[in-house]
A and B are shown apart, each in its own frame.
Chain A
């Protein structure tokens, strides 16, 4: 029931996103009909014919109604630049972005959690300073510079990394699509060579992204753990002579998990929308670079579709975080203990 009402609450947010994006894209000072009439022999009549064909001769409110009508039928419109329905383009590209983001996210969590916990357990120790230094350094360079630097070092100079282009070795055929995640699909297809190829293509871009995501995660873990360790009940637990190990991992971590999980959710959805730059550097066929190209080319449909899908993912991730709250609520943890 609670989940249902939360789901209903999503609708106005998404509607707001749709309206705002529609207005924003149509604010772009440029006439798509002129842009797409790009042959030097095109004259005013050609441009007008194209404008009518694209439906841009209609008043804005009618264009909006038409767009909303299509949207209700699950039609996100068509991309003029790729010539494909936007929904199909996004479905093709979303798994690429999701796989990259997820890998980078897991990588970042795998480093940030132990680092943050370690820093909180031994404040002002070497590990604490290291945590601070690493997490600060990670966010101190723009991602595109980190990416180019990694390519230069590991591909161009050392030659240990595969060509930083796309998701798979160029001469390998992509696995039959089941999930769209190459790491999973290659295994399902029983093709370990392609799996390794997909994995090695993933390493540099995901490390680039992970470096950036590391900082907020490690920071939040550290301060949440510090807060939990300093709280009343931990002191009580220590006074009661409970084992240190149990205190840290059962009580403190469980308490600290709330803010940490919130941060996880925010960082994850931010990464999903912000990997445009990484996708650009690594020729990664994701949704971010798709939206960017469409934006530059005055192709409204893909920009609107991208914003809507990203917003939907954002609210869904938040919903999942909220549900996770219920599961790891420390009060339940304490009563059980």
Chain B
């Protein structure tokens, strides 16, 4: 354990991008938790008298079509975006690793059937599948999360299955089996903790993608504009105003989105370095 901690320190301090990414993540978390209490304006309240104002001392990032403060909205949006990203990714991580581990361990007919289903799911044009799912289930944040999780699921199932089937022939698993441990115990105690790191790396690289996916859906009008601010939707809406010179509505949430995705990706890389030092030289 101490080794790992030392490793973490090494990865953070020795690699400036990782340090920066961690600091950005920290800022995002602060914004997500404290956002509503520290921003200067109510991010939801409209005030059409000050609609579409350029950035100024009163409104650092300007105001939008309904006169809402873009700065306040950008900060507060961190919460919903982190929720969408983490919820979607955790959902597919949890489901995917459970299913993948089970079929990788038990093999047989179950494995064959589930693998076929996974093949079918992978063969879909994924973005259009997500669109169809949101259109069928209804336009809401929850359904965007579900759709994002489902189209991600096959990758986790495959990864978990591969990792488990590679390990289940190893000596210590055999030993546990001979020693009378139940299948559930073997899976939960011996296998899952071992395959988890590589799954978590995959997940962290996936966080940014989940946010982008939601943004893409809202660009074509699927995905709800709850009054609660969300970066992707703010960018998609602001994009309508870029050519008429009101760049601030898309630019600032766009930068926030970019920053967040950037930070998720760097962290994913850093995490991989910790988990899988083979890739380091």
Which residues of the other chain, A, contact B128 by a CB distance below 8 angstroms?
273, 276, 288, 291-292, 295, 303, 306-307, 310
In this assembly, does A132 line the interface, its C-beta being within 8 Å of a C-beta of chain B? Answer: yes
Q: Which of B33-41, B54-62, B164-172, B215-223 contacts A (4 or more CB under 8 A)?
A: B215-223
A230 to chain B: closest residue by CB: B281
Known: A140-B258, A148-B242. A17 touches B120 (CB 8 A): yes
Nearest chain A residue, comparing its CB with the CB of B213: A142
| Residue A226 interfacial (CB < 8 Å) | yes
Within 8 A of B (CB), among A263-304: 270, 272-274, 276-277, 280, 288, 291-292, 295-296, 303
- Interface flags for B212-254 (1: CB within 8 Å of A; 0: not) read 1001100111000000000010011001001100000010001
Q: Is A186 an interface residue (CB 8 A)?
A: no
- Kindly count the residue-residue contacts between A and B in the assembled complex, taking CB atoms under 8 Å apart: 140
- A-side contacts of B254, CB under 8 Å: 141, 145
State whether the Cβ of B262 lies closer than 8 Å to any Cβ in chain A: yes
B111 at the interface (CB under 8 A from A): no
Q: Which residue of B lies closest to A20 (CB)?
A: B120
Closest B residue to A303 by CB, please name it: B132
- Which residue of chain B has its CB nearest to the CB of A29? B136
CB–CB B131/A16 < 8 A: no
Q: How far is the CB of A11 from chain B (nearest CB, A)?
A: 11
Q: Given the known A-B contacts A17-B120, A17-B123, A273-B127, are A25 and B281 also in contact in the complex, defined by CB atoms under 8 Å?
A: no
User: Is A64 among interface residues, defined by CB-CB distance under 8 A?
Assistant: no
Q: B133 interface residue, CB < 8 Å from A? A: yes
Cβ of B220 and Cβ of A16 under 8 Å apart?
no
| Interface flag for A46 (CB, 8 Å) | no
A156–B243 CB distance below 8 A? yes
Q: Are A132 and B17 in contact, CB atoms less than 8 angstroms apart?
A: yes
A148 touching B239 in the complex, CB below 8 Å, given contacts A16-B117, A276-B220: yes
Q: Which of A12, A17, A25, A142 contacts B212 (CB 8 A)?
A: A142
Say yes or no: is A249 at the interface (Cβ < 8 Å to chain B). no
CA distance A141 to B219 in the complex (A): 13
* Residues of chain A contacted by B216 (CB below 8 angstroms): 142-144, 277
**A132-B269, A140-B262 are contacts. A16–B116 as well, Cβ < 8 Å?**
yes
Interface assignment of B122: CB less than 8 Å from any CB of chain A: yes
Taking the complex as formed, is B190 at the interface, i.e. its CB lies under 8 A from any CB of chain A? no
Q: What chain B residues lie within 8 Å of A28 (beta carbons)?
A: 132, 135-136
Given A16-B116, A148-B242, A276-B220; A230-B135 close (CB under 8 Å) = no
A24 is contacted by which of B132, B239, B242 (Cβ under 8 Å)?
B132
Contacts of A142 in B (CB 8 A): 212, 215-216, 219, 232, 235, 257
* B266 closest partner in A (C-beta): A136
Distance in angstroms from B281 CB to nearest chain A CB is 5
Nearest B residue (CB) for A14:
B123
Q: A17-B120, A227-B278, A307-B128 are in contact. Are A145 and B239 (CB under 8 A)?
A: yes
Which residue of chain B has its CB nearest to the CB of A226? Answer: B279
The interface residues of chain A lying within 8 Å CB-to-CB of B31 are none
Q: Which residues on the A side are within 8 Å of B208 (C-beta)?
A: 139-140
Q: How many angstroms between the C-alpha atoms of A141 and B123 in the bound complex?
A: 25
Residue-wise interface mask of A (116-157) relative to B, using a CB-CB cutoff of 8 A (1 in contact, 0 not)? 000000010000010011001101111111001000100010
Does any Cβ of A come within 8 Å of B265's Cβ? Answer: yes
Contact status B212-A139, CB under 8 Å: yes
Cβ B239 vs Cβ A273 within 8 A? no
**A311 in the interface, Cβ–Cβ < 8 Å?**
yes
Q: Determine if A36 is an interface residue (Cβ-Cβ < 8 Å).
A: no
Q: Is A81 an interface residue (CB 8 A)?
A: no
* Known A273-B126, A276-B220; contact A140-B265, beta-carbon cutoff 8 A: yes
A63 at the interface (CB under 8 A from B): no
Select B261's contact among A140, A227, A310, beta carbons within 8 Å: A140
Which of A132, A139, A145, A303 is in CB contact (< 8 Å) with B235?
A: A145
- Which residues of B lie under 8 Å from residue A291 when comparing CB positions? 125, 128
Q: What CA separation (Å) do A298 and B31 show in the bound complex?
A: 40
Is the pair A295, B131 in contact by a Cβ cutoff of 8 Å?
Answer: yes
- Cα(A24)–Cα(B208), bound, Å: 27
B126:A274 contact, CB within 8 angstroms: yes
> Which of B122, B221, B236, B257 meets A141, CB within 8 Å?
B257
A-B contact pairs, 26 of them (CB 8 A): A24-B133, A25-B132, A123-B280, A123-B281, A132-B269, A137-B262, A139-B209, A141-B258, A142-B212, A142-B219, A142-B235, A142-B257, A144-B236, A145-B235, A145-B250, A145-B254, A148-B239, A230-B278, A273-B124, A274-B127, A276-B131, A277-B219, A277-B220, A295-B132, A307-B128, A311-B125
Contact residues of A with B, CB < 8 Å?
Answer: 12-14, 16-17, 20-21, 24-25, 27-29, 123, 129, 132-133, 136-137, 139-145, 148, 152, 156, 215, 223, 226-227, 229-230, 270, 272-274, 276-277, 280, 288, 291-292, 295-296, 303, 306-307, 310-311, 314-315
By Cβ-Cβ distance, the 5 closest A-B pairs, closest first, are A273-B125, A16-B120, A311-B123, A310-B125, A140-B261
Instruction: List 6 additional A-B contacts (Cβ < 8 Å) besides A29-B138, A288-B125.
Output: A28-B135, A141-B258, A142-B257, A144-B219, A226-B279, A314-B122
